[in-house]
Amino acid sequence: MATKKTVLFSGNEALAYGAYEAGLEFSAAYPGTPSTEITQFLSQFKEIDSQWSVNEKVAFEIAYAASIGGKRSMYIGKHVGLNVAMDPFMTSAYTGVNAGFVIVTCDDPGMHSSQNEQDNRLFARVGKMPLLEPSSPSETKELIKKAFEISEKFDTPVIFRMTTRICHSKENVTIQERKDVPIKNFTPNPQKYVMIPRYAMMRHIELENRLLKLKKFAENSPLNKMEVKDKKLGFITSGVTYLYAKEYYPNASYLKLSISYPFPEKKVRDFCKKVKKVFVLEELEPFIQNNCERLGLKVYGRDASFHIGEMKPDHIPQIVAGKTKKDKPLVNRPPELCKGCPHRIVFNTLKKFDVIVAGDIGCYTLGTLPPFNGLHTCLCMGAGVTFQEGLSKSIQNKKVVGVIGDSTFVHSGITGLINAAYNKTKGVILILDNATTAMTGGQPHPATGKTLKQEETKQLSLEKICEVCGADSIDVIDPAQVNDFEEILRKRLDENNLSVIIVRKPCILMKQKMHPKTFTNPTPGVGR
């Protein structure tokens, strides 16, 4: 007997639970807002082999290979995470899958906690893979199951696009039992899985054929739902924007796209024939709108001001009135480094030196704000190390210090350090080792010696790896020893070497947080 139960789930929890119900066997991810809780939630299921990986490229490849090996698997990351995994991403469309493989990308319109607000729907067209978009947590749980079915039916990776508002909103979600899916056999098939040019050319033909089939599927699928009511006013829309529009115009006609790539041209044409005035409502890029324009359809889009930032319910009537975006200006209290945070000492010390600081992604990026004003660049993961090298090639009159966190260093600082040593770079790199991935709420990583499931594992030694990468000196210092820290920093800045200083002091929030049971929300009905 199948049991059903209704719980209050976030989009992330619903996605994890839906994947669990769909027989997910393997998942890999690197933490990143707003995607982090998906993996944390998955970690409770003993049926699923889930992991934090070193970075998104690694996560993608492992999860994808697990699918080729025969298990339903999933890669999970934030929007910019997929950039790191672009290399395997692009060719996985050629090689296809064995068991179902879903690429979960959690975009962050409004940049609640991100360095840009790229719209990863565009990657569906670039990568030539089907794109699924839910609009709410309850829909997420059902749609993720469909994603695995589509992946297997069409032999393709499937992109599943979430946004912060859906990831972090909660709603009543009805949960069901897991359906185990038999593990498939892996049969060596070089023409499919070894992408030498000759085989890749055949796979490209296969890929184009597959897209035609997927297009037909998108045309006929009830997931692209037409609701014709008021024939004077209609909306083509996707994601949470659909719900914002329903709030204002419950009686209008809707074409709600859950499969927005391949673009269901016939259905869209049909809708535009049935409804007199059609608006395209979407968040960030004019993805649906450009597709409509390509078909020569007369639809009304959004002013370019709406391509920036998160969509809000209040924007809908503004768009319908053909206006530019008008938001109530809100003065938000800016975030700051926690009281007692070890990074504070680092930036207070750096202030005493006339140096340029190349920063990276993490809590310590906040060192750029007053009262520190002590971090001068931040672009992407790992750039604390590579910017130290690049900037010091150009800047002659000042020393450049690189600042990077422990988790970020493992993610993509190591290759930069090898490059710095190899190319005879001089300077100082500070690894701020607070023993966790703090910005995203405290996840373990290789240098913590703990896995996602809080099991003991081999611990990466930051000292040793810096040594073999080629650093001339490696100091380990507790920043609480303020004078010693300052002295070491002065000494290393005066030398003409490649120096790494590991500034080691645990994140103050982790004392409360590292307890393994506290990281998932206690949600009724899911206590396995």
Partner 1 sequence: MKDDNVTSIVLYGIGGQGNVKASEVCGLAALLSGYHVKKTEVHGMSQRGGSVESYIRFGKKVFSPLPADGTVDILICLHEEEYPRLIHQLKKDGIDLFPYLAKAKEAVGEQKLFLNTFMLGVLSAFLPIKTEHWLNALNQTFKYAQEENKNFFLKGKHSGEQK
**Where along the sequence are the contacts to partner 1 (CB under 8 A)?**
6-8, 112-113, 136, 165, 168-172, 240, 243-244, 246-248, 250, 312-314, 328, 330-338, 363, 366, 439, 441, 509, 521-524
In 3D space, the residue among 215, 211, 235 whose CA is nearest the CA of residue 225 turns out to be 235
With respect to partner 1, which residue has the nearer C-beta, 51 or 136? 136
DSSP lists the bridge partners of residue 73 as 26, 101
With respect to partner 1, which residue has the nearer C-beta, 33 or 377? 33
With respect to partner 1, which residue has the nearer C-beta, 69 or 525? 525
Provide the 10 A C-beta neighbour count for residue 367.
Answer: 25
Number of alpha helices (DSSP H) and beta strands (DSSP E) in the chain: 21, 18
State in angstroms the smallest separation of the CB of 522 from partner 1: 6
DSSP classification of residue 1: -
With respect to partner 1, which residue has the nearer C-beta, 296 or 522? 522
CB 471 within 8 A of CB 416: no
3-state secondary structure 397-423: CCEEEEEEEHHHHHHHHHHHHHHHHHC
- The CA distance from 294 to 218, in Å, is 18
DSSP string, 458-508: PPP-HHHHHHHHT-SEEEEE-TTSHHHHHHHHHHHHHSSSEEEEEEE---T
State in angstroms the smallest separation of the CB of 407 from partner 1: 16
With respect to partner 1, which residue has the nearer C-beta, 85 or 240? 240
CB 223 within 8 A of CB 289: no
With respect to partner 1, which residue has the nearer C-beta, 239 or 444? 239
State in angstroms the smallest separation of the CB of 521 from partner 1: 7
Q: What are 459's two structure tokens? A: 């611990």
Provide the 10 A C-beta neighbour count for residue 115.
Answer: 16
State in angstroms the smallest separation of the CB of 168 from partner 1: 6
DSSP classification of residue 183: P
Provide the 10 A C-beta neighbour count for residue 91.
Answer: 14
- The CA distance from 159 to 176, in Å, is 24
CB 389 within 8 A of CB 418: no
With respect to partner 1, which residue has the nearer C-beta, 86 or 369? 369
DSSP classification of residue 7: E
In 3D space, the residue among 505, 464, 503 whose CA is nearest the CA of residue 486 turns out to be 503
State in angstroms the smallest separation of the CB of 201 from partner 1: 47
With respect to partner 1, which residue has the nearer C-beta, 312 or 376? 312
With respect to partner 1, which residue has the nearer C-beta, 198 or 328? 328
With respect to partner 1, which residue has the nearer C-beta, 114 or 448? 114
State in angstroms the smallest separation of the CB of 359 from partner 1: 15
State in angstroms the smallest separation of the CB of 326 from partner 1: 11
State in angstroms the smallest separation of the CB of 36 from partner 1: 12
State in angstroms the smallest separation of the CB of 102 from partner 1: 24
Provide the 10 A C-beta neighbour count for residue 394.
Answer: 7
Residues 408-435 as b or e (16 or more Cβ within 10 Å = b) = bbbbbbbebbbebbeeebbbbbbbbbbb
Integer angstrom CA distances of residue 168 from 171, 241, 282: 10, 15, 19
CB 250 within 8 A of CB 321: no
Q: Is 302 helix (H, G, I), strand (E, B) or coil?
A: coil
With respect to partner 1, which residue has the nearer C-beta, 243 or 460? 243
- The CA distance from 127 to 89, in Å, is 7
Q: Is 262 helix (H, G, I), strand (E, B) or coil?
A: coil
CB 100 within 8 A of CB 154: no
With respect to partner 1, which residue has the nearer C-beta, 248 or 422? 248
State in angstroms the smallest separation of the CB of 339 from partner 1: 8
- The CA distance from 139 to 306, in Å, is 25
Q: What are 447's two structure tokens? A: 């240098």
State in angstroms the smallest separation of the CB of 514 from partner 1: 15
State in angstroms the smallest separation of the CB of 245 from partner 1: 9
**Amino acid at the residue 304:** A
With respect to partner 1, which residue has the nearer C-beta, 132 or 316? 316
State in angstroms the smallest separation of the CB of 188 from partner 1: 48
